[in-house]
Amino acid sequence: MQIVLIAGDGIGPEVTAATQEVIAATGVKIDWIDAPAGLHSAEQFGDPLPERTLDLIRQYRVALKGPCTTPVGKGFRSINVKLRQSLELFASVRPVQSLPHLKTPFEQVNLIVVRENTEGLYAGLEHQVVPGVIESLRVITRTAAERIVRYAFELARQYGRRMVTFCHKADVMRLSDGLFLQCAREVADDYPFIDFEEKPIDNVCLELVTDPKHYDVLVMENLFGDVISDLCAGLVGGLGVVPGANLGSKYAIFEAVHGSAPDIAGKGLANPIACIRSGAMLLEHIGRRDAAARIEHAVVETLRAGVGLTRDLGGDGNTRTITDAIISHLPTG
Amino acid sequence: MQIVLIAGDGIGPEVTAATQEVIAATGVKIDWIDAPAGLHSAEQFGDPLPERTLDLIRQYRVALKGPCTTPVGKGFRSINVKLRQSLELFASVRPVQSLPHLKTPFEQVNLIVVRENTEGLYAGLEHQVVPGVIESLRVITRTAAERIVRYAFELARQYGRRMVTFCHKADVMRLSDGLFLQCAREVADDYPFIDFEEKPIDNVCLELVTDPKHYDVLVMENLFGDVISDLCAGLVGGLGVVPGANLGSKYAIFEAVHGSAPDIAGKGLANPIACIRSGAMLLEHIGRRDAAARIEHAVVETLRAGVGLTRDLGGDGNTRTITDAIISHLPTG
Ligand SMILES: CC(C)[C@H](C(=O)O)[C@@H](O)C(=O)O
Ligand SMILES: CC(C)[C@H](C(=O)O)[C@@H](O)C(=O)O
């Protein structure tokens, strides 16, 4: 099994290496194909996202990715956005669950954020009308709207989830979110066995900080999804522990969504949990559900035991000790 | 002193009446000029926001407003949005502070959300490109961007606040939020005695649910502001206790931003705190800072005492008992 590995910048090489180790320890054999992206790549090849990297993903279909920094001020578009658009990774999926050891004000959070990944204001269409007046286009299409809502319902069905909440601002964007809402209702009709709820995005934000337990699967357009994904990560301990996936009909990229933390890069201090859990999602995607579940279990038990944790998790360990702890908690397969 | 009163729908007449009582109890004499808006007005005058109401506000400059429901499905634009745009109420201001008695996961929250109120996606410019493809325009102008950031800094100065955070998504909307960010930086340069911080909106959402104490004054465009305002209200107990103001260079409307709660309307059960605190903001606006401070004090002490509170606040009282409690806690002027 060959899988592309984009180690990325900063702590990227450390957290992806830890993930490779944990995956190897489950017994799943993967032949990792290195591919460059990020600051590193821009310096070495003059391109933060070389065509070669895209081609490798096209060839092998699946990638694990560490944080990649987009060089600023040189007209490069965000690497993440470019990856999603070039490979039509139309769905971003972020499962968010309360974890042991991480003291947050919220308990029993257990939701999945499904974000449309290709349109909205991320279409990148902007122009200056006259100096001092800019228009950005927020593009919503029936095709993409139906596709993402259907994706959310399929996910709900597959994982036995009970409710899908569609988040919108249709009272203000009557045409665009009106269309999206109409598509959502139509798709929801195909799933009478899953509850459907539609809510303005501002209400959702308020409820997420007062009663996050209410939510199950949430689906929404791109920029709303950007904001809600990070808000939800905050509810359970932040980007250091939450995995992410970007999925299309042909390709899939699994990635920790945290930054490259240049201040601690190379020091062996990085927390690899977000990347390791993204690796578990990757295993699930390629049909190794058992290995995926074992990794998830090991991460949860490692946090519960609270030994060997990295500093950001309140421990005095490092990448090595937490990786060893996770491996030692892997149930035998 | 004449002030326009838009009682609005549902519990609107109850919460505005309570506010009038509390203001009267401070000794500030106001001659309230009734003006219609909302569902009620649509039924009676065929218009949810009659021109007469706008004219009254233009004449008297200041209004207190209860929740108004925009009739759905009849092509009416949101009353709130129309008010803001017709009267150029370019700034929405929402002070958000932790309150006694209200158990929330967050303590010592003390921030002010300043939202640009006239542009962004609220410009309402949308069109169908071809069937199934909609474009909504997000409009950002230098004029409005500078105006709102300057407003935020002036507010910070006036209230002795130490930091202004500008929230944006300039890495995705390079032109529009690029312009906004540039304006923010330029204005910030005029206030070297107030800290300035610029942050992506997704980061802000994450930090607001993990470390809201970090924030002081936040300023941002319209839709981001919509979402952040409600999120922040959620941090301290919800829309039932948080006041709001919509301000322009000529006119000002003070309003509770919660809904009209038709289920409890007319039963004397509504919690008037959000409206009463909006009334306090109104008094401050017209230069009666002392009366405003006394109302704020009385609300806080009423919550601390915990007697006479409405059901949504965990009490067994009603609009009457909580209004009496607030009046009884007014320090002598
Ligand atoms: C880096 C940025 C463009 C990106 C986004 O806004 O999508 C990031 O916030 C994310 O969520 O992956
Ligand atoms: C009713 C709606 C159009 C309005 C808005 O989005 O501005 C409301 O949410 C608000 O914040 O006042």
HSE of B215, CA atoms in CB hemisphere, 13 A: 34
Distance CA A145, CA A181 (A): 9
* Nearest beta carbon to residue A206 from set B122, B176, B230: B230
Instruction: Give, for A245, the enclosing helix (H) or strand (E).
Output: strand A245-247
Contact A54, A45 (CB under 8 A): no
A17 pLDDT above the threshold of 70? yes
Residues forming beta bridges with residue A4, ordered by sequence position: A33, A63
The CATH 3.40.718.10 portion of chain A extends over 1-91+238-333, 105-236
What's the whole-number mean pLDDT along residues A230-243? 97
DSSP, residue by residue, A128-183: EEETTEEEEEEEEEHHHHHHHHHHHHHHHHHTT--EEEEEE-TTTSTTHHHHHHHH
For the entire predicted model, the pTM comes to 0.95
Q: What is the dihedral of CA A211, A212, A217, A223, to 10 degrees?
A: 110
Report the pLDDT value the prediction gives residue B233, as an integer from 0 to 100: 98
Give B230's contacts in chain A (Cβ within 8 Å). 202-203, 205-206
Report pLDDT digits (tens) over A53-92: 999 999 999 999 999 999 876 667 889 999 999 999 999 9
Instruction: Tell me where in chain B the CATH 3.40.718.10 domain(s) lie.
Output: 1-92+239-333, 105-236
- Taken in order A299, A305, A308, A309, the sign of the CA dihedral is positive
The CATH number of domain B1-92+239-333, selected from 3.40.718.10, 3.20.20.70, 3.90.220.20, 3.30.1380.10: 3.40.718.10
**Mean of the pLDDT values across residues A29-49?**
95
User: What's the confidence (pLDDT) of residue B75?
Assistant: 67
A102 at B interface, C-beta within 8 A: no
The mean pLDDT of A174-182, rounded to a whole number, is 97
Cα-to-centroid distance, B230 and ligand 2 (Å): 10
pLDDT for A73: 66
> Considering only CA atoms, which of B74, B62, B81 is closest in space to residue B124?
B81
| The pLDDT value given to residue A333 | 72
b (16+ CB within 10 A) / e for A238-268 = bbbbbbbbbbbeebbbbbbbbebbeebbeee
User: Within 10 Å of residue B102's Cβ, how many Cβ atoms?
Assistant: 15
Sign of the dihedral through C-alpha B208, B238, B281, B225 = positive
DSSP, collapsed to helix, strand or coil, labels residue B5 as: strand
Q: Which CATH class is domain B105-236?
A: alpha beta
Q: Which residue has the higher pLDDT, A40 or B111?
A: B111
Measured CA angle at A195 (ends A193, A201), to 5 deg: 150
**Two tokens, residue A68:** 């990649």
Residues paired with B141 in a beta bridge? A133
Whose tokens are 């910030």? That residue is B188
Is B200 in a helix, a strand, or coil? strand
Helix, strand, coil percentages for chain A (3-state, nearest 5): 45, 20, 35
Q: Which of B80, B83, B122, B228 to mutate to test the pocket of ligand 2 (most atoms within 8 A of CB)?
A: B80
Nearest to A6 by CA among A279, A247, A233: A279
Residue A116: burial class (beta carbons within 10 Å; 0-12, 13-18, 19+): buried
Instruction: Tell me how close the Cα of A172 comes to any Cα of chain B, in angstroms.
Output: 6
Q: How far is the CA of A278 from the centre of ligand 1 (A)?
A: 16
Angle between helix axes B176-189 and B142-158 (nearest 10 degrees) is: 40
B100 touches chain A (CB under 8 A): no
Percentage of chain A with pLDDT > 70?
Answer: 99
Count of H-run helices and E-run strands, chain B: 11, 12
- Out of A201, A207, A231, the one facing B209 most closely (by C-beta) is A231
pLDDT along chain B (333 residues), means of 10: 97 98 98 96 94 98 96 78 95 98 93 97 94 97 98 96 97 95 98 97 97 98 98 97 98 96 97 98 97 98 98 97 98 86
Mean pLDDT of A283-304: 97
Please tell me the distance in Å from A281's CA to the nearest CA on chain B.
Answer: 23
AA identity, residue A214:
H
Interchain CB distance below 8 Å, A203 and B230? yes
Distance CA B65, CA B4 (A): 8
Average pLDDT, chain A: 96
Q: What is the pLDDT of residue A74?
A: 61
Number of A/B CB contacts below 8 angstroms equals 155
- How many Cα atoms sit within 13 Å of A182 on the Cβ side? 13
What CA–CA distance (Å, rounded) separates A266 from B180? 36
Q: Quick one: pLDDT at residue B280? A: 98
For residue A69, give the chain B residue with the closest CA: B171
- Domain spanning A1-91+238-333 has what CATH number? 3.40.718.10
Helix residue ranges, H only, A61-141: 79-86
DSSP B324: H
**Is B227 touching A (CB cutoff 8 A)?**
yes
Q: Rounded to whole angstroms, how far apart are CA atoms A92 and A272?
A: 20
CA of A196 to the centre of ligand 2 (A): 23
